[in-house]
Amino acid sequence: MIRRIKGVKDILPDDIPKWDVIETAARRLATIYGFREIRIPIFEQTDLFARSIGTTTDIVEKEMYTFQDLDKTSLTLRPEGTAGAVRAYIENNLGSVPSAQKMFYLGPMFRHESPQAGRQRQFHQLGVEFFGNPHVGADVEVMAFLWHFFADLKLRDLTLEVNSLGEPADRSRYRALLVKFLEARGDCLCVNCRGRLERNPFRILDCKEAGCRDATRDAPMMTDHLSERARTQFEDVRSGLSALGIPYTVNPRLVRGLDYYTLTAFEVTSLSPHLGAQNALGGGGRYDGLVEGLGGPSTPAVGFAAGLERIALVLPPEALTPQPKMVFVAAFGKDGEAAGTRVLQALRARGVSSETLYGASTLKAHLRQADRRGALLTAIIGDDEAAEGVVLLRDMTTKAQEKLPLSSAPDMIAARVFSA
Ligand code: AMP
């Protein structure tokens, strides 16, 4: 038998109510905050990701699903959504469309990571991008959206961590300082981080290895080396959050894994035991240089991405919406089945969720199936009922039965279901 690919999961019918709640909340809030949906391709030219995410990042170095198209173009399954959103923004000249400055997307992403709880090779994200506005109001707005989204889903024990990664000039000055500091402690770093020293020293700050933690304990922090403008911007972001009553902590080690961030960076983590090490539910930041870096006009931007699998893992039962009440039609005998089919269709036409078991010839078989499906009511129609022009309506909880005229049964049953 052919099995699914490692790190990839089926989302089964029983899981779907969770996903529905999450996606519905995402769409509802997007409308409330004025973000419109964009659907971008699942694969793009490899260069798009290499140039935006950064050639020395973990994602581009080791996690991309890259393959050659028949014409030898190198293509990659998208590991995240911002690069594609920016490409679409530039290519479709969306900078000139006022209603297209705030966009969101929902969909699968692909990264070749080692699978564990909350970490998969195909996973789904809600992504939000706010283009064209350098004001901290935009930073605060996307963070407020993310916080509001999690609050709507009744998620608990969350922390919003914020940091400033400075402007590009601050970063290169700081990078030199950090590398100098870490080079003196190179022996204490894990193998992975020794490799990062040259290529991506910032990531060493959020390495979880004990040796790297120790080595970076007194490391210079970006927040102490910000330009005046970046420092003010960071203060304004924090006061904007406080003004909205959104609690946060400053985490100077928060660097995020993608190169394109400037100034604001943020992440929401959860303390839930269902997540273990993979405790980040979502994160993002400002990426003022990316649109221009990919060949578009100079355009400030800020956004976030949240992982839907991780949200599903921590979603409390009280966030689930009750499933619609269901009616079972138990029809048997030649005339009974014909009448039952009409009742079933009439119920569905009235918006009532209804089911039957085709071919079951005994009442017992029908009732067993009705129980399994959690039916609220069962409409019983055998040949005798069809001849008499009635339906026997059984309340599946009390087991009480009553006779209804066949002609008015669908309306009466629908009224009963909608008032239940
Ligand atoms: P990133 O695009 O790396 O900033 O990730 C944003 C969010 O996507 C994270 O906070 C996670 O919730 C989720 N995420 C990232 N990578 C994975 C993965 N491999 N499996 C499941 N969720 C992920």
Atom of ligand 1 nearest to the CA of 119: 20
Confidence category of residue 254, pLDDT binned at 50, 70, 90: very high
Q: Evaluate whether 66 touches 46 at the Cβ level (below 8 Å).
A: yes
Whether 123 is in the pocket of ligand 1, judged by its Cβ within 6 Å, is: yes
Atom of ligand 1 nearest to the CA of 82: 2
Q: Is the pLDDT of residue 204 over 80?
A: yes
- Kindly compute the dihedral angle of the four CA atoms of residues 256, 259, 264, 268, in this order, to the nearest 10 degrees: -20
Whether 113 is in the pocket of ligand 1, judged by its Cβ within 6 Å, is: yes
Q: Is the pLDDT of residue 257 over 80?
A: no
pLDDT at 259: 78
Tell me the C-alpha to C-alpha distance, in Å, between residue 353 and each of 133, 340, 346, 376, 403. Answer: 46, 15, 11, 10, 21
Confidence category of residue 119, pLDDT binned at 50, 70, 90: very high
DSSP 157-195: SEEEEEEE---HHHHHHHHHHHHHHHHTTGGGS-HHHHH
pLDDT at 382: 96
Whether 166 is in the pocket of ligand 1, judged by its Cβ within 6 Å, is: no
Find the 357 Cα to ligand 1 centroid distance in Å.
42
Find the 387 Cα to ligand 1 centroid distance in Å.
61
For range 77-101, the mean pLDDT: 96
Find the 269 Cα to ligand 1 centroid distance in Å.
11
Write the single-letter amino acid at 31.
Answer: T
Atom of ligand 1 nearest to the CA of 121: 19
pLDDT at 197: 86
pLDDT at 55: 85
Q: Is the pLDDT of residue 209 over 90?
A: no
Q: Is the pLDDT of residue 44 over 90?
A: yes
Label the pairing between strands 66-68 and 74-77.
Answer: antiparallel
Q: Where are the alpha helices (DSSP H) in 34-103?
A: 46-53, 58, 82-91
Residue nearest ligand 1's atom 10 by CA? 282
Query: Residue 116 has what DSSP assignment?
Result: B
Atom of ligand 1 nearest to the CA of 282: 10
Query: CA 73 to CA 93: how far, in whole Å?
Result: 25
Atom of ligand 1 nearest to the CA of 115: 19
Mutate to test the pocket of ligand 1, among 53, 278, 281 (most ligand atoms within 8 A of CB): 278
Q: Evaluate whether 193 touches 220 at the Cβ level (below 8 Å).
A: no
Find the 243 Cα to ligand 1 centroid distance in Å.
29
CB neighbour list of residue 176: distance below 8 Å, 6 or more residues apart: none
Q: Is the pLDDT of residue 31 over 90?
A: yes
For range 221-239, the mean pLDDT: 96
For range 47-67, the mean pLDDT: 92
Confidence category of residue 320, pLDDT binned at 50, 70, 90: very high
Find the 307 Cα to ligand 1 centroid distance in Å.
5
Q: Convert the pLDDT of each residue in 60-75 to its tens digit.
A: 989 999 999 999 999 9
Strand partners, 106: 126
pTM of structure? 0.93
Atom of ligand 1 nearest to the CA of 125: 8
Whether 80 is in the pocket of ligand 1, judged by its Cβ within 6 Å, is: yes
Whether 285 is in the pocket of ligand 1, judged by its Cβ within 6 Å, is: no
Query: Residue 119 has what DSSP assignment?
Result: B
Q: Convert the pLDDT of each residue in 179-202 to its tens digit.
A: 999 888 888 899 889 888 888 888
Write the single-letter amino acid at 290.
Answer: L
For range 341-366, the mean pLDDT: 96
Query: CA 110 to CA 42: how far, in whole Å?
Result: 9
Percent of the chain with pLDDT over 90: 84
Assign 82 to helix, strand or coil.
helix
Rounded to 5 degrees, φ, ψ at 67 are: -150, 165
Query: CA 410 to CA 281: how far, in whole Å?
Result: 46
Atom of ligand 1 nearest to the CA of 257: 3
Find the 131 Cα to ligand 1 centroid distance in Å.
22
Mean pLDDT of the chain: 95
Q: What b-and-e string marks burial along 314-339, b requiring 16 or more CB atoms within 10 Å of the CB?
A: bbeeebeeeeeebbbbbbbbebbbeb
Whether 120 is in the pocket of ligand 1, judged by its Cβ within 6 Å, is: yes
